[in-house]
Amino acid sequence: MIYQKFKSFVEAHSLFSPQSRLLVAVSGGQDSVALVHLLLELKRDWPGLDIALAHFNHQLRASAEADERFVRQLARKLGLKLLVGRGRVREFARQNKLNLEEAGRLKRYEFLEKAAEKWGAELVLTAHTMTDQAETVLMRIFRGTGLEGLQAIRLRAGQVVRPLLGIKREEIEKYVREKGLKFRVDESNLDTSFLRNRIRLELIPHLEKEFDPEVVSHLAQLALIAQDENEALAELIEGLWPVVTRGCCGRHKGKNEDRATVPPGFELDLRALKQMPVAVARRLVRKFLHLSLGLESPSYEQTQAVVNLREGQKFSWGKDKVLINEGGWLRRLEKKSTAIKSSLRWDGRGSLLFGDRWKFTGKVLEARKVGELQYDDASRCYLDASKLEFPLEVRSRKPGDEYRPLGMKGKKKLKDLLREKKTPQAERDLLPVFVSGGRVAWVPGLPIAEEFKVTPTTRKIFVIEKSELPQ
């Protein structure tokens, strides 16, 4: 009996508890109507279940209004609360350059999420069947996929649960027929210009007849296995993520992470990936591509191209989305910044603003009163005040700039020092250069010049401290 199969599937996968508050997405089609009635049967065994219905009118088909009326009548007849939403899907698709199917899916789930919050539902149930699952697996295979794509329709995805994935569509048809249930027919499901419909109406019947009567069950089982194995891999990737990245802004999960919070210095260690199994390396690259470039589902070719990037090579996805391998670290190549063409005179007193990003503060200290110096090339420097010529010149970098960094035997070009320091290209022309008497004294992020260092004979120390201006 289909009800017992349904109940067993819910219990075996712990999809929800006997006291759950459930919002059921109802289109009016036979699958969603069947789901509602199966849940009402389950409620007889689990009286603590709380059920409400939700319907989203896509306003795409001429029959959309009739579908909505049908669901309203169904809710009244069954005595269930109904939440209805409407969306201008065609307009949304045009504005966001999406196909109608994708636009409809996004607007539908957006509505369901809000409706669940409004009603206080723990879970949202949709009526995807085992046959839908098999169709999706085949579609993914035809279009090219990996293990992630073979997950197809997730049994659980956040708040959304699909309790009919253990039941074939033909079983649903039999249940609806035996119960004498009325439902709406979506005429677009018969249009074989859509790949899914050709798979449903032509390919799967052929496979069942000529190759395997249980092909639907086997494909659905493959999807569930893939989901379990992907969960295990996802946990592994989360554990490795902090080890192979730097400059990230925290943990990112799911499809709704805010990529705008990923900082420019976010990088992935490609050298570390070379020591890992290629399957793990690909997963890490896919996550990086998603976060740094916004690729929703990077292809195998894109992922493999990044895995194989050599030093200095770039990966491009559109004009403004470019990654580069610099020193074994993969990072996004930001748009070339306009250098701050500036030359300021500073007497070392008070504060100095350089561009709209940094503030520098200077002060003179008595060396004998200063304890251990807290060196930090990125944000602070200590110079022998007696060796400096004030006012200092604070300017942008010039071609040919060079100096002798503290501890080195000879001079080196700023360009080479910044490259060796792995300073992002976009940052290099924005850095201020502190010059005394025509000689470079300090560049934030690099050591001070040897000739201006503090020594045991230094009497006065000039300290420069850098801070970021609020953006």
Q: What is the pLDDT of residues 322-374, one digit of tens each?
A: 898 888 899 887 665 545 567 899 999 889 998 777 899 999 999 988 888 88
Give yes or no for residue 260 having a pLDDT over 80.
Answer: no
The reported pLDDT for the residue numbered 255 is 41
Give yes or no for residue 55 having a pLDDT over 90.
Answer: yes
Average model confidence (pLDDT) for the chain?
89
Tens of pLDDT, residues 409-418: 899 999 889 8
Question: Under CATH, to which class is 247-332 assigned?
Answer: mainly alpha
If we measure between CA atoms, which residue out of 463, 437, 439, 460 comes closest to residue 450? 439
Alpha-carbon gap, residue 345 to 362, rounded angstroms: 13
Domain spans in the chain, listed from the N-terminal domain onward? 2-223, 247-332, 343-468
The reported pLDDT for the residue numbered 294 is 83
Predicted confidence band of residue 254 (pLDDT cuts 50, 70, 90):
very low
Alpha-carbon gap, residue 186 to 67, rounded angstroms: 9
Residue 51 phi/psi, 5° resolution? -125, 135
Give yes or no for residue 257 having a pLDDT over 70.
Answer: no
Give yes or no for residue 6 having a pLDDT over 90.
Answer: yes
The three-class DSSP label of residue 385 is helix
The reported pLDDT for the residue numbered 341 is 63
The reported pLDDT for the residue numbered 471 is 58
Mean pLDDT, residues 264-277 taken together: 89
The CATH H-level (homologous superfamily) assignment of domain 343-468 is Phenylalanyl-trna Synthetase, Chain B, domain 3 (3.50.40.10)
Predicted confidence band of residue 193 (pLDDT cuts 50, 70, 90):
confident
pTM given for the model: 0.68
Query: What CATH number is given for 2-223 in this structure?
Result: 3.40.50.620
The reported pLDDT for the residue numbered 252 is 44
Tens of pLDDT, residues 131-183: 999 999 999 999 888 888 899 999 999 999 999 999 999 999 999 999 999 99
Domains 2-223 and 343-468 share a fold: no
Mean pLDDT, residues 216-237 taken together: 95
Strand partners, 71: none
460, 364 contact by CB (below 8 A): yes
